[in-house]
Each structure stands twice: as structure tokens, then as C-alpha cells.
Structure 1
């Protein structure tokens, strides 16, 4: 199973809208539909009820949310652990929205990479929702957003 399928499923389940999920994931609406269809085919169940005017999760889709979150969390931790070589003493995981990379982060990260030999940098683009979630669950160390992080804790 591809990780992108699970990410797409979680975004559609969050927005309950294929177009909004596509915008958030920076892909086309047809790509979102194709990914959901592939995931449904892999699992052999319908994840969304499309018969009504509004999209809604099926019981199977509701059950998949927990498993998809756990699988993505495990995959992220695996990438962070396996991706660090033995001579690296520290790892910094940075997440940002795509637009912020272009404005500020590319040149800043190049300077960090040149000046800190024993630091592993892991960078990823996320939607604002994913940035908040991953920062609060400590999957990323630093998140760059336009608006402040609001925690209910």
C-alpha cells in the first residue's frame, strides 16, 4: 500500500470534499479520485458514500482513519530513524508550507547544511493542518506557517 494513498484518504476524510483535499495536497482532483479508488480496490471496500449530495465516510472509512494515522506515524518515524547515518550526531526535522520554502527557507537551509556537518536535515512540505498535527505529535521539530499554532491543551 502506498503512503500517498493513506495521506490522500485522511485529507479527504478531514475535508469531506475531493476538490478541497486536492488543493490542500497540491494535486489535481482527478488524482485524489484515482488514489481513493486505488485504496478502495486494495481494501475491497467503499470508504466514502458518494450517493448523497455531500460526501460522507462509510463505517469502513471511519475504521480506517485510526489505522491510517498509525501507519503514517510509523512510516514517518521509520524514515527519520533509518535515514540518519551513523556519523550524524543530530537530526532536525523541518516542515513548511510550499510557499514559505520559496520565500525564505531554501537559502536558509543551504546555509545550515553547509555550516553544520554533523546535523541531518529532513525537510517536507505539508498543508497547514498537517504541520500543526505533526508538530504537536512531535514528528517535526520546527514548523513554518503563516498563522500561529493554536493548541487546545
Structure 2
């Protein structure tokens, strides 16, 4: 039996992923803090856990891998879930081996993303003030989506 290819061709549709839209969706209803604290990741998380009651743990599955200048860079992410809520706190380390996850914020050592549920202004202010009082913390500032040029670097 001979096979004869069909003369009808199907129209091909190309689907294109809109990265900008994906990045915007990721940051919908989030709050982001930039923190300057020249301390080790684990020391900072230990303070957050012991003094403020969070449960930050390293989540290797969320680690951000970037390739720049033919080298690989790995940015760790710590995670703390709020009980009885959809709110999850993510603490990114902004620096690895001389490179930055968000180069526009080189002066920030950590980026604290609150995602999954509404964080009102009062709660965000309490977090900022509490973090400011921790040992080694020099600066805590809320960052707006408009200030972040490299949003895609934070998407996991």
C-alpha cells in the first residue's frame, strides 16, 4: 500500500508568550520591600523567624538561575507561608558572586515580596518598622512596580 500525502495543508498558528504580561501578572497584588542589611542570608532569616515570628526556610525549588557574561548565577529564595491565609512571603537574596538579581537596586541586599493575599498599609508599615529594628539593618524601603526594571528576574 502506498501512502499519498494530503494536498490540503492546515493553517499553522503560532502562539507567542507575552513575557511582559506574565511579569505584570506575577506582580499583581504584591508588596515589595528592599532591605539593606549586610548580613548572611541565614542570619537575617533567623532574626526574622525568632524576633518577628516568621518561618522563613530556604526553598531550593524557587532558586533563580541567571546566565550573564557566560557565567551562571544563583539567587536563593526563602519562603514563609502565613497560617490560615494565601499570603506567602518570599525573601530573595539580591546578590551572588558580584552580580545582582535587580541591578537597579545594587544597594539592597534583600528583596521581600509579599504575594497571594492583600497586605494592607498598616501591616506593611508594621513589617517595615519591625525589620528596621533588627540588628544589622540599615534601610528598609517599599519598592513600586514602576521602579523595577528587571521584573522578569524575580519571576519563578
Asked if Structure 1 and Structure 2 have the same fold, meaning a TM-score greater than 0.5 normalized by the shorter chain, the answer is: no
* Structure (1/2) with the larger helix percentage: 1
Mark the structure with the bigger radius of gyration: 2
Which gives a bigger RCO, structure 1 or 2 (Cα 8 Å, sep 6+)?
A: 2
Q: TM-score, normalised on structure 1?
A: 0.26
* Structure (1/2) with the larger strand percentage: 2
